[in-house]
Amino acid sequence: MGRLTEGLVQVYTGAGKGKTTAALGLAMRAAGQGLRVCIVQFLKGGWESGEVQAAGRLAPEIEIHRFGAAQWGDHSQADADTPWWELPPSEDDREQAREAMLFARRALTGREYDIVVLDEILGALKGQLISLQQVIDLIRARPDTVELVLTGRVAPPEIIEAADLVTEMNAVKHPYSRGVKARRGIEY
């Protein structure tokens, strides 16, 4: 197994499409060089996606561990017209985020992986499922030889400051605006 001699902290953020896709591309590149990658997906427990199927073919170099309620939000706290993204988190959402954080810490500090991707951890932070301090503590717990990648729409200044590389994806044009739904194999 190839080992990194120096790991850094990367953040992929912004309102544009491509944060998870960039992290998955990095994972594929790393696997091609014999590095071990653990991807911990926050907020993504409710559906199967193409990356989960592909990672199964790339094991043991790439593993994906998914955490998230089958359906986001506490539906008892809203009416039928409330969009899912405006629902408050449910207790199941909070429990899944706690489990994801515990798993992420073990993956990061266990020295089994060269790269640990925390996909949508910034979404879990924005949704108040985890705290900023918890994320900062994870960054600080990173061994020097492990690359850590965090993704999500809104990276707080403290996380940007703690990172070595920050890429912001900006939405210029997206087919959602004209009613195109998420497509199998492209968006999931």
CA 67 to each of CA 1, 3, 40, 44, 92: distance values in angstroms, whole numbers, following the listed order: 27, 27, 8, 6, 10
Helix (H, G, I), strand (E, B) or coil at 46: coil
Q: Which residue has the higher pLDDT, 108 or 186?
A: 108
What average pLDDT score do residues 164-173 get?
A: 95
Residue 12 has pLDDT above 60, yes or no: yes
pLDDT at residue 3, rounded to an integer: 84
pLDDT at residue 22, rounded to an integer: 97
Residue ranges per domain, the chain?
Answer: 9-170
Q: What is the pLDDT of residues 46-103, one digit of tens each?
A: 777 888 888 889 999 999 999 998 877 777 877 878 887 788 888 999 999 999 999 9
CATH assignment, 9-170: 3.40.50.300
Return d(Cα 105, Cα 165) in angstroms, integer.
21
**What's this model's pTM, rounded to 2 decimal places?**
0.90
Residues 6+ apart with CB under 8 A from 118: 40, 42, 104, 138, 148, 149, 150, 151
Return d(Cα 165, Cα 82) in angstroms, integer.
36
Return d(Cα 63, Cα 66) in angstroms, integer.
10
